[in-house]
Structure 1
Amino acid sequence: MSETRVAIATSKAGMHADADLGPVVAALRDEGLTAEPVPWDAEPATWEGFDLAVVRSTWDYTERLDEFLAWADRTAQVTRLYNPAPMVRWNTDKRYLRHLAERQVAVVPTRFIEPGEQYGPDRFPEHTGLVVKPAVSAGARDTARYEPGRHADAMRHARTLLDQGRVVMVQPYLRLVEEGERALVFVCGEFSHAIRKGPVLTEPGVIDNDRIAHPDVTAYQPTDEERETARAALAAVPSAEAPLFARVDLALDDARKPVVMELELVEPDLFLAHHPDAVRRLAHAVAAKVRRVTP
Structure 2
Amino acid sequence: MTSTRIGLATCSALPRLDSDDRPLLDALTERGAVAEAVVWDDPDVDWSVYDLVVVRSTWDYSPRRDEFLAWADRVPRLENPADVLRWNTDKGYLRTLEDAGVPVIPTIWLDPDRHLSKRAVHTRMPAFGDFVVKPVVSAGAQDAGRYQPVSAQSRALAIKHATDLLDAGRAVMIQPYVTSVDTAGETGLVFVDGELRHAVRKHALLTGPAQPSDGQFATERMSPATATADQVDAAEKALAVARENVGGERPFLYARVDLVTGDDGTPMVIELELTEPSLWMQHSGTAATLDAFAAAILARA
- TM-score normalized by structure 2? 0.90
The 1:206/1:70 distance shift into structure 2, 3 A limit, reads closer
Residue number in structure 2 paired with 1:146: 147
For 2:90, the equivalent position in structure 1 comes to 93
Question: 1:25-64 maps to which residues of 2 (within 5 A)?
Answer: 25-43=25-43, 46-64=46-64
Q: Distance in 1 between matches of 2:72 and 2:17?
A: 22
Contact 2:14–2:57 (CA under 8 A) maintained in structure 1 = yes
Match of 1:268 in 2: 277
Q: One-letter code of the match for 2:63?
A: E
Q: Secondary structure at the match of 2:277?
A: coil
Given that 2:161 and 2:210 are in contact with CA atoms closer than 8 Å, whether structure 1 keeps it comes out as no
Q: Secondary structure at the match of 1:14?
A: coil
Q: Secondary structure at the match of 1:219?
A: strand
Question: 2:99, 2:155 → 1: CA distance?
Answer: 27
In 2, are the aligned partners of 1:6 and 1:53 still within 8 Å (CA)? yes
Aligned to 2:254: 245
Are residue 222 (structure 1) and residue 222 (structure 2) matched? Answer: no
In 2, Cα distance between equivalents of 1:133 and 1:220: 27
How far has the Cα of 1:270 moved from its partner?
0.6
Using the alignment, how far apart are the partners of 2:2 and 2:210 within structure 1? 54
Matched, 1:158 2:192: no
Determine if contact 1:197/1:215 at 8 Å carries over to the other structure.
yes
Kindly, what percent of the aligned residue pairs are identical?
Answer: 45
CA RMSD of aligned residues (A): 1.7
In 2, are the aligned partners of 1:248 and 1:264 still within 8 Å (CA)? yes
Aligned length: 286
Which secondary structure does the structure 2 equivalent of 1:246 belong to? strand
* Displaced runs of 4 or more, over 2 A: 42-45, 118-122, 148-153, 204-216
Q: Which residue of 2 aligns with 1:74?
A: 74
Q: Flag structure 2 segments of 5+ consecutive residues without an equivalent.
A: none
Checking the alignment, whether the CA contact within 8 Å between 1:126 and 1:151 is kept in structure 2 is no
Structure 1 spans left out of the alignment, 5+ residues: 291-295
Letter in 1 for 2:195: E
Offset at residue 112 of structure 1 (A): 1.1
Alignment correspondent of 2:299: 288
Q: Secondary structure at the match of 1:160?
A: helix
| Secondary structure of the structure 2 residue equivalent to 1:56 | strand
How far apart, CA to CA, are the structure 2 residues paired with 1:44 and 1:230?
A: 39
Q: Select the residue among 101, 109, 121 that pairs with 1:112.
A: 109
CA offsets 1:59-108 (integer angstroms, 9 cap, x no match): 11112111110000011xx3x21001100111111111111111111001
Question: Which range is displaced more, 7-16 or 183-192?
Answer: 7-16
> Alpha-carbon deviations, 1:134-177, whole Å to 9, x = none?
01111111110111324333222100100010000000111111
